């Protein structure tokens, strides 16, 4: 491993290890924070569920109190109806009170006397006949004995769900009875000196009954002689009032509803469902509180937790977003470091290329200058055998002067192109005549290199508006390239023709070794030279083709390479 590789490896370690350590630490802290948020969300959810349950139980107690108040009011009226010929009073009561759905009367042997058979009364008679088969007054036990024989599940349900309500009702009834008993006692003491035997009291009660037609809430009164009159509560009227017991609609409040047990959706037999519509159909409630079996069996109060996104942090979204941001941060650091490293290596390579360029250009300048100085000194000292030898010395000085001028022009063009200061002086030209002049000028140099020049130029003029100096520089660079690398091919062919899309096309082809596939685009890069035996033996800075392509593009055209059929290279200059 060389020094440069060790430096690059050390740089990557200094960049990679701290970045990964920071990323791992950030992920660890994000995981801890996510765990804390999850625990907090569970605690909040438990608190909310407890609050919803408490609110639902309060609603259930209010519903039971409401039904209890209705039952006490209707039973008070039912006790005032005379047991002898009660039908007229029952008819008037049924029509006048919206809480009364139907009234009934049974004979001492429990046959249905009221409602009479026929019409819509047949439905009432049907459920009433089924209900009387198990009517509570058929049991001779008193209320205490009935309470002892109630099913344990019902007793437990009453204790767990409605103990407060029933206790409150019992306390209210006890106080009422104490007050009424005290009043009656005072009246009796003032009216008569001795108490008289009281008649046997009527038996009364309420009984919920459910059949295929629905729930029936029935109150009954059994007279001492055995006949029974009763009333069925109009549940629709009570249901219409249940909405007043639910919390007011609010986007921030939890939702509640009263429905029959097992209701699938909020809208199915639910009340105040307009405030729950945002929960959608089929949503399962968070809390279910059944109503007392002794009041409204088969009914329940349900509570739905609001979904306003307050608990979203407990769903893992915080960790996902945080991890994504950490990943972006780490990727940005690594990408930035890679970019800086690439730029540093590129700058280092360019610096090395420029150093090599200076060395090569200095060498290229030194060679023609040395030759010019040598032959000029020979001429100055008169060390020539004859006039022919002196003429040869002068021609050599002229060739080296042209070579030096080409090198200087390349260096100047390279500097201008790099700085963006190159300016083109476009003028109308006869491209065929200009190429003829250039080829005539450089034909001897090509012949010295061992290359035969073939010209394929149009017979007539080919007018074009372009920069004369740039065109000459491109052509000279292409011919120099052929002299350096294709001298063994023995020929150079220069072709000029018009393009079908407008403009002209100049082709310079040789029979040299050509260019390997992997270098066919890179040969136009500055300082690039094909690293094989042939190019390694030739001097140069690797700027000729790069400058030629930049000049061609500056003129609005293009310079490209193509392998020549039969072997060799062909450079195609397209001018607009």
CATH number at residue 442: 3.30.565.10
Q: For residue 56, tell me if it sits in a domain.
A: yes
Pairing between strand 112-114 and 255-260? unpaired
**CA 246 to CA 275: how far, in whole Å?**
10
101, 124 Cβ separation under 8 angstroms: no
> Three-class SS string for 507-556?
EEEECCCCCCHHHCCHHHCCCCCCCCHHHHCCCCCCCHHHHHHHHHHHCC
Q: For residue 181, tell me if it sits in a domain.
A: yes
Pairing between strand 452-456 and 491-498? parallel
- Name the pTM for this structure: 0.47
So what's the pLDDT on residue 441?
Answer: 81
Dihedral sign (CA 416, 417, 419, 420): positive
Alpha helical stretches, state H, 458-510: 468-485
286, 52 Cβ separation under 8 angstroms: yes
Q: How many domains does the chain have?
A: 2
CB atoms within 10 A of CB 73: 12
Pairing between strand 228-233 and 255-260? unpaired
Q: For residue 290, tell me if it sits in a domain.
A: no
**CA 266 to CA 253: how far, in whole Å?**
16
HSE of 542 in the Cβ direction (CA atoms, 13 Å)? 21
What does the block give as tokens for 337? 């470091």
Low-confidence spans in the chain with pLDDT less than 50: 140-151, 153-192, 194-198, 264-269, 273-279, 310-313, 532-536
Q: For residue 463, tell me if it sits in a domain.
A: yes
Instruction: Find tokens 């006039």 and name the residue.
Output: 387
What does the block give as tokens for 34? 């996510």
**CA 53 to CA 35: how far, in whole Å?**
27
Residues 6+ positions from 410 with CB-CB distance below 8 Å: 473, 477, 541, 543, 544, 547
So what's the pLDDT on residue 178?
Answer: 35
In our burial notation (b when 16+ CB lie closer than 10 A, e otherwise), range 414-451 reads: beebeeeebeeeeeebebbebbeebbeebbebbeeeeb
Q: For residue 539, tell me if it sits in a domain.
A: yes
**CA 100 to CA 71: how far, in whole Å?**
11
**CA 213 to CA 131: how far, in whole Å?**
13
Domain-terminating residue out of 241, 268, 288: 241
Q: For residue 36, tell me if it sits in a domain.
A: no
Angle at 146 between CA 259 and CA 197, to 5 degrees: 120
So what's the pLDDT on residue 573?
Answer: 92
Domain-terminating residue out of 209, 241, 273: 241
Q: For residue 537, tell me if it sits in a domain.
A: yes
Q: What is the DSSP letter of 218?
A: E
In our burial notation (b when 16+ CB lie closer than 10 A, e otherwise), range 158-192 reads: beebbeebbeebeeeeeeeeeeeeeeeeeeeeeee
**CA 541 to CA 539: how far, in whole Å?**
7
**CA 244 to CA 234: how far, in whole Å?**
17
Domain-terminating residue out of 199, 220, 241: 241
So what's the pLDDT on residue 307?
Answer: 64
So what's the pLDDT on residue 509?
Answer: 92
Q: For residue 456, tell me if it sits in a domain.
A: yes
- Burial category of 205 from C-beta neighbours within 10 Å (exposed 0-12, middle 13-18, buried 19 and up): middle
- Residue 130 sits in which domain range? 44-241
């Amino acid at each position: 491993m060389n020094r440069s590789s060790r430096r690059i490896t050390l740089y990557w370690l200094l960049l990679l290890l701290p970045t990964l350590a920071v990323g791992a630490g950030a992920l660890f802290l994000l995981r801890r924070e996510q765990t804390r948020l999850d625990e907090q969300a569970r605690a909040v959810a438990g608190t909310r569920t407890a609050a919803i349950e408490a609110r639902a139980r309060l609603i259930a107690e209010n519903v039971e109190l409401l039904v209890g108040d209705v039952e006490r009011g209707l039973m008070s009226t039912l006790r005032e109806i005379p047991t002898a010929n009660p039908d007229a009073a029952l008819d008037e009561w049924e029509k006048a009170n919206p809480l009364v759905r139907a009234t009934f009367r049974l004979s001492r042997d429990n046959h249905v006397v009221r409602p009479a058979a026929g019409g819509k009364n047949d439905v009432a008679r049907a459920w009433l006949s089924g209900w009387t088969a198990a009517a509570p007054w058929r049991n001779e036990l008193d209320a205490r004995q009935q309470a002892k024989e109630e099913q344990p599940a019902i007793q437990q349900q009453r204790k767990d769900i409605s103990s407060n309500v029933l206790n409150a009702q019992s306390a209210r009834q006890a106080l009422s009875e104490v007050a009424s008993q005290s009043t009656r006692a005072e009246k009796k003491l003032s009216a008569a000196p001795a108490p008289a035997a009281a008649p046997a009291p009527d038996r009364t009660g309420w009984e919920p009954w459910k059949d295929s037609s629905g729930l029936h809430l029935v109150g009954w009164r059994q007279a001492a002689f055995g006949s029974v009159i009763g009333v069925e509560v109009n549940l629709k009227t009570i249901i219409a009032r249940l909405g007043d017991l639910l919390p007011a609609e609010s986007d921030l409040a939890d939702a509640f509803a009263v429905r029959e047990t097992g209701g699938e959706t909020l809208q199915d037999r639910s009340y105040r469902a307009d405030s729950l519509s945002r929960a959608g159909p089929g949503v399962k409630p968070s809390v279910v509180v059944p109503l007392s079996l002794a009041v409204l069996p088969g009914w329940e109060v349900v509570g739905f937790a609001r979904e306003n996104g307050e608990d979203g942090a407990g769903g893992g979204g915080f960790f996902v977003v945080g991890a994504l941001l950490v990943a972006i941060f780490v990727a940005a650091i690594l990408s930035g470091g890679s970019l800086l490293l690439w730029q540093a290596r590129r700058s280092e390579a360019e610096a090395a290329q420029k150093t090599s360029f200076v060395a090569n250009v200095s060498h290229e300048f030194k060679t023609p200058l040395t030759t010019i100085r040598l032959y000029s000194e020979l001429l100055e000292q008169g060390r020539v055998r004859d006039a022919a030898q002196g003429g040869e010395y002068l021609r050599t000085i002229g060739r080296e002067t042209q070579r030096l001028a080409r090198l200087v022009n390349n260096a100047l063009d390279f500097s201008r192109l790099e700085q963006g200061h190159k300016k083109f002086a476009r003028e109308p030209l006869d491209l065929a005549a200009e190429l003829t002049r250039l080829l005539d000028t450089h034909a001897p140099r090509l012949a010295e290199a061992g290359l035969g020049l073939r010209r394929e130029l149009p017979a007539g003029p080919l007018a074009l508006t372009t920069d004369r100096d740039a065109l000459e520089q491109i052509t000279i660079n292409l011919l120099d390239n052929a002299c350096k690398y294709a001298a063994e091919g023995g020929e150079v062919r220069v072709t000029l023709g018009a393009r079908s899309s407008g403009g002209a096309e100049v082709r310079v082809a040789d029979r040299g070794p050509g260019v390997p596939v992997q270098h066919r685009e890179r040969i136009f890069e500055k300082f690039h030279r094909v690293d094989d035996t042939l190019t390694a033996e030739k001097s140069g800075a690797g700027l000729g083709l790069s400058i030629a392509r930049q000049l061609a593009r500056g003129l609005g055209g293009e310079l490209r390479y193509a392998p020549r059929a039969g072997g060799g290279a062909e450079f195609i200059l397209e001018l607009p």
